[in-house]
Chains A and B, each alone.
Chain A
Amino acid sequence: MNIFGWLNDQLLRMQWLADLVTAGVSAAGLDPTSRLGGSVQFFVYDVIKIFILLSVLIFAISYVQSFFPPERTRRILGGRSGIWANTLAALLGPVTPFCSCSSIPIFIGFTAAGLPLAITFSFLISSPLVDLASVILLASIFSWPIALTYVVVGLVVAVVGGTLIGRAGMEKQVAEFVHSVPVQDSDHAMTRSERLSFSRDQVVEIVHRVWPYVLIGVGIGAAIHNWVPGEIITALIGQDNWWSVPVATLVGIPMYADIFGTLPIAEALVGKGVGLGTVLAFMMAVTALSLPSIIMLKRVIKMPLMLLFLTVVTGGILGIGFTFNVITDWFI
């Protein structure tokens, strides 16, 4: 085995932890190959793994993100336009600290500073969609090719979606007050200790926020993994059904879960023969669109632009779902 493969198995997939938990389950008198033992093994292993990865990843990623506050991202993007500007916006999305509660202030701040809608939307689509921590978790649960392909298609959706929205010429569909907002630029550079404490705070805050979703997600995953017959799942959302992707997307959109909670469900579903595209469409729908964020967005943009945004993102997710289902065999 090569070094990279070993590191990947032990650090990212945490094979040692899986072995340890299996041994623990056996020691507790449960057969890990039995239904109950298997469920317990899946639950304990996944919960511990996700929390370890989550803490380490959020810390590292927050440190990187501390270099790209929204003010700086806005300066970088200022005065640019065209497809490369969209690409740059899509790339900056994942490295700018973002939470759904600050997406509206960012939208206002960008638009007020004169950034075109095309650029702002590329940023707003990629920021939740191409979440760095979830990408690495994807690599841990599935594989690096799947994670990297996810990043690429996520960026493509952001670039294409932003461009389409820009082409529609909907500048008038933004709430009037947005244009009269003053643009303030802060030039406060963080010190290293500020970055470290920022990263630590992010870990505490995010773990605090997502732990119920992770437990519920892993619980559902463990149940699917061992208790739901594969035939039922494949009959409902199996690869051969054309409706699998639309159903997964529609179910995912109103859901306000966290990507970290959906990953274990995705893992269990793929294990039962559900297409990778269906599962990715579900995850993307959950993260890119949610009812609370749509309601908030409605306060700063008018209906036509809102509908265009929803159509473009939903269309992108459906496209990805169908494409991935066709090429699933390349990965698994």
Chain B
Amino acid sequence: MIIKILGSGCKKCVALGENARAAAEAAGKQAEIVKVTDFAEIAGYGVMSTPGLVIDEKLVSVGKVLTAEDIAKLL
């Protein structure tokens, strides 16, 4: 699966990326974490509050740093 972190590189985006990686590892899933920093692409998902979380092209969360447990539930 592909997990995308939408955000211009602020601290929150980094934290969300780490949590996503931990969640995928804990769930034993092969996940590729992609950081999307381009505004055009971020906006393409209709996101107005960063960081956003996209799992397999589905936008699942905006504007918050989900914990690894929260992300695991979404995987």
**Digit string of B46-64 for contact with A (CB within 8 Å is 1, else 0)?**
1111100000000100111
User: Cβ of B7 and Cβ of A101 under 8 Å apart?
Assistant: yes
**Digit string of A95-136 for contact with B (CB within 8 Å is 1, else 0)?**
001010110111011001000000000000000000000000
**Digit string of A172-185 for contact with B (CB within 8 Å is 1, else 0)?**
00010110011110
The distance in angstroms between the C-alpha atoms of A108 and B52, with both chains bound, is 15
- The reply on A186 being an interface residue by CB < 8 A is yes
User: Cβ of B63 and Cβ of A97 under 8 Å apart?
Assistant: yes
User: Cβ of B49 and Cβ of A102 under 8 Å apart?
Assistant: yes
Measured CB to CB, the closest approach of chain B to A294, in angstroms, equals 14
Interface size on A, residues (CB 8 A): 29
The distance in angstroms between the C-alpha atoms of A292 and B6, with both chains bound, is 19
Main secondary structure of the interface of A (DSSP, over half): helix
The distance in angstroms between the C-alpha atoms of A90 and B62, with both chains bound, is 24
Q: Name the CB-closest residue of A to B12.
A: A205
Q: Name the CB-closest residue of A to B46.
A: A184
**Digit string of B1-40 for contact with A (CB within 8 Å is 1, else 0)?**
0000001111110000000000000000000000000011
Q: Which residues of B contact A175 (CB under 8 A)?
A: 40
- The reply on A198 being an interface residue by CB < 8 A is yes
Q: Name the CB-closest residue of A to B45.
A: A184
Evaluate whether A97 and B62 lie within 8 angstroms (CB atoms) in the complex, with A205-B12, A209-B11, A300-B39 already known: no
Report which of A69, A109, A205, A296 forms a contact with B46, defined as CB distance below 8 A. Answer: A109
- The reply on B68 being an interface residue by CB < 8 A is no
Main secondary structure of the interface of B (DSSP, over half): loop
Q: Which residues of A contact B10 (CB under 8 A)?
A: 99, 101
**Digit string of A143-167 for contact with B (CB within 8 Å is 1, else 0)?**
0000000000000000000000000
Measured CB to CB, the closest approach of chain A to B60, in angstroms, equals 11
Evaluate whether A109 and B48 lie within 8 angstroms (CB atoms) in the complex, with A69-B63, A201-B64 already known: yes
The distance in angstroms between the C-alpha atoms of A50 and B11, with both chains bound, is 23
Interchain Cβ contacts within 8 Å, total number: 64
User: Cβ of A201 and Cβ of B65 under 8 Å apart?
Assistant: yes
Q: Which residues of A contact B12 (CB under 8 A)?
A: 101, 205
The distance in angstroms between the C-alpha atoms of A184 and B60, with both chains bound, is 13
**Digit string of A186-211 for contact with B (CB within 8 Å is 1, else 0)?**
10000000000010010001000100
**Digit string of A39-69 for contact with B (CB within 8 Å is 1, else 0)?**
0000000000000000000000000000001
* A 234-287 contacts with B by CB, 8 A: none
- The reply on A71 being an interface residue by CB < 8 A is yes
User: Cβ of B49 and Cβ of A181 under 8 Å apart?
Assistant: no
Q: Which residues of A contact B65 (CB under 8 A)?
A: 201
Evaluate whether A105 and B11 lie within 8 angstroms (CB atoms) in the complex, with A184-B45, A201-B65 already known: no
Q: Which residues of A contact B11 (CB under 8 A)?
A: 209
User: Cβ of A181 and Cβ of B44 under 8 Å apart?
Assistant: yes
The distance in angstroms between the C-alpha atoms of A108 and B10, with both chains bound, is 18
Measured CB to CB, the closest approach of chain A to B26, in angstroms, equals 21
Evaluate whether A299 and B39 lie within 8 angstroms (CB atoms) in the complex, with A101-B8, A102-B63, A201-B64 already known: yes
Contacts from A to B (Cβ < 8 Å):
69-71, 74, 97, 99, 101-102, 104-106, 108-109, 112, 175, 177-178, 181-184, 186, 198, 201, 205, 209, 296, 299-300
Extra contacts besides A105-B50, A109-B47, A182-B46 (5): CB < 8 Å: A97-B49, A101-B50, A104-B8, A109-B43, A109-B46
Contacts from B to A (Cβ < 8 Å):
7-12, 39-40, 42-50, 59, 62-65
14 sampled A-B residue pairs with Cβ under 8 A: A74-B48, A97-B49, A97-B63, A101-B9, A101-B12, A104-B8, A105-B43, A106-B48, A106-B49, A108-B48, A112-B43, A177-B43, A184-B46, A184-B47
